[in-house]
Chain A
């Protein structure tokens, strides 16, 4: 994942010669590493490798078991479409988990903001564009509210978002009157809300815009996390908040921006979900919080913060989608799909623990 530019290559050569010139002082203990230790080190440096390997193996395995219908362009694009909303939520969740937090309210923010957009555009005659902007701003507001409780009132993220999950869920039931907004009404009044449900043709596969949005969200967040100072600060905070504080990072401000951005991404998922589902249902995605955490964990992002790549969460979401689709096409009962996902989570966390024990 990291880029080895030519200048860096040169730099390493330069370091190598330096190594030869000065090895007496504080030099490395030369240890003989076993194969297992080497694997541990490799994974430690590339935490996304596990989900990538799992994804490739599961693709091959289900291709063999379920045959051609699994590998059809139709089925693969269906998987992409099915994971798109949870994938975007997982991107938001990754931001939070990288700071060693957790957000139980992501799905509630998403559905609440889709209801806000729907109510404004379908029932109040607000132009769709403005309704969407208000919904996205609402997402930022909801995220900042979480962040405010966590940084200023110093509440633990788990408790804060457990509370706001209930609050946002109650609000969305109230705003929607526990009623869905029907697809026909959206089509008649505010078709733009369904923008991300549109599809385009790519080599026989029908790709929905929501899947494209998911990819774009991941690429943009990956850039922010890896190529900007803000991103380095996010990792430093998740790694050791006190150390980050002492080395001059404005940790509270950064955390607030992380929660605000995550809220924005959730609201974006809310907009995309309208197109993906075709209607606005207050009951939809009730398990979205846990699904997003599942994707993040399977993606090799450490729940203890500071470790892992956001791209892992994309692979994590895809793995869940591939398992669901593959098992279904192989004629396996739904309960075994749930069973398999459970094992994936436990194995992923066990691998994370093992990687973190890497010896210096």
Chain B
């Protein structure tokens, strides 16, 4: 078997009296879309944040492509090519699309202007942003210099996904990317997910929306009460099975079904 992209064992994260992650395992395989489902407060966001350095787990080990890692910040994970699209997007509304795509990894001009005056290469950044949005079929915005706050919800999601897709080399985490979107905009995001997978980049998709999950996921990780309950193959189970496992209405299959 090929080495998993992410392998986490026995992760624990406590917030005071709340145990958000309770000795949970996690596995992401090359090239797949792994859906993570579970009730509100089950700890889905917490476990993916532990994987990308946004929170530091109290216990447990994380292997990325077989190598143990200990991230102290999301910046360190990002430097390895791990990108996350947060539930609340993490965009700066008043800044432009191009500025937002490059936040924290801006391109400086070549030569002395960049070196000594630290001048940004805005044309290069704008061109890159435009190319990436075009690639993902998102170039319906009027101008790349437009502030993000003038975009619709779906377009903002598009910018956040494009940013992740543009810089991810290992994998992308998406936390409830369709939760706030309408039907049309959700479709667009699902297409984006498939586009990204087609380029060989695996995706962790947290979602509540069973039709979406069953449409795009290769495997489903069911999270319950802070830990992985089981993983299933969406071809072998129905949506109501998945909901029954996740709410505890039905006994889960053994861990290694999928």
Interface residues, chain A, with chain B CB atoms under 8 Å away = 2, 5, 7-8, 11-12, 14-15, 18-19, 22-23, 25-29, 45, 223, 227-230, 232-233, 235-236, 239-240, 242-244, 246-250, 306-307, 358, 360
For residue B43, CB closer than 8 A to chain A, the reply is no
Q: A7-B123, A228-B120, A244-B103 are in contact. List 16 more A-B contacts (CB 8 A).
A: A5-B123, A11-B126, A14-B130, A15-B141, A26-B138, A26-B184, A45-B147, A228-B119, A229-B118, A230-B118, A232-B103, A239-B92, A243-B89, A244-B92, A249-B103, A306-B92
User: Are the C-beta atoms of B119 and A8 separated by less than 8 Å?
Assistant: no
CB pair B90 A246 closer than 8 Å: yes
Q: Return the CB mask of B91-103 against A: 1 if under 8 Å, else 0.
A: 1111100011001
In order of increasing CB-CB distance, the 6 nearest A-B pairs are A248-B104, A246-B90, A229-B106, A236-B92, A239-B92, A247-B103
Question: Is B152 in contact with A26, judged by CB distance below 8 angstroms?
Answer: yes
Instruction: Provide the bound-state CA to CA distance between A151 and B30, in Å.
Output: 40
- B200, CB-defined interface residue at 8 Å: no
Determine if A22 and B118 form an interchain contact, defined as CB atoms under 8 angstroms apart. Answer: no
Contact assessment for B151 and A232 in the assembled complex, using a CB-CB cutoff below 8 Å = no
Q: How far is the CA of A160 from the CA of B94 in the complex (A)?
A: 27
List the A residue with the shortest CB-CB distance to B124.
A7
Docked pose: A307 CA to B105 CA in angstroms: 22
Q: Would A248 and B123 be within 8 Å (CB), given that A18-B139, A243-B89, A306-B92 are in contact?
A: no
Whether a CB of chain A sits under 8 angstroms from the CB of B57 is no
Interface residue from B75, B95, B185 paired with A26 (Cβ < 8 Å): B185
Known contacts A243-B89, A246-B86: does B140 contact A28 (CB below 8 Å)?
yes
Number of interface residues of B (CB under 8 A): 51
Say yes or no for B38: interface residue by CB 8 A criterion: no
Q: What residues on B are CB-neighbors of A242 within 8 Å? A: 90
CA distance A7 to B142 in the complex (A): 16
Closest to A248 in B: B104
Once the chains bind, are A232 and B106 in contact (CB under 8 Å)? Answer: yes
Name 28 A/B residue pairs within 8 A (Cβ), A-sorted.
A11-B126, A11-B127, A18-B134, A18-B139, A19-B139, A26-B154, A26-B155, A26-B158, A26-B184, A26-B188, A28-B142, A227-B118, A228-B117, A229-B108, A229-B120, A230-B118, A235-B94, A239-B92, A239-B93, A239-B94, A240-B91, A243-B89, A247-B92, A247-B103, A248-B75, A248-B105, A307-B94, A360-B150
Whether the Cβ atoms of B93 and A19 lie closer than 8 Å is no
Select from chain B the residue with minimum beta-carbon distance to A18.
B139
Q: How far is the CA of A240 from the CA of B99 in the complex (A)?
A: 14
Q: How far is the CA of A18 from the CA of B135 in the complex (A)?
A: 12
A25 touches B89 (CB 8 A): no
What is the CB-to-nearest-CB distance from B156 to chain A, in angstroms, rounded to a whole number?
A: 9
For the complex formed, measure the closest distance between the CB of A121 and the CB atoms of chain B, giving whole angstroms. 32
For B123, the chain A residues whose CB sits under 8 A away are: 5, 7-8
Of the candidates B90, B117, B142, which one forms a contact with A247 in the assembled complex, judged by CB atoms under 8 Å apart? B90
Q: Which one, A8, A27, A28, A247, contacts B126 given CB within 8 A?
A: A8
Q: Which residue of A lies closest to B119 (CB)?
A: A227
Residues of B within 8 A of A7 (CB): 123, 127
The distance in angstroms between the C-alpha atoms of A227 and B226, with both chains bound, is 45
Contact with A along B177-188 (1 / 0, CB 8 A): 000000011001
A303 to chain B, nearest CB (A): 14
B74, A248: Cβ atoms under 8 Å? yes
Please encode chain B, from 138 to 170, with 1 for each CB lying within 8 Å of some chain A CB and 0 for all others: 111111110101111011001000000000000
A235 touches B92 (CB 8 A): yes
Q: State whether A236 and B78 are in contact (beta carbons under 8 Å apart), knowing that A8-B145, A229-B108 are contacts in the complex.
A: no
B-side contacts of A19, CB under 8 Å: 139-140, 142
Q: Which residues of A contact B41 (CB under 8 A)?
A: none
Contacts of A28 in B (CB 8 A): 140, 142, 152
Chain B residue, CB-CB nearest to A230? B118
Residues from chain A with Cβ under 8 Å of B155 in the complex: 26
Whether a CB of chain A sits under 8 angstroms from the CB of B88 is: yes
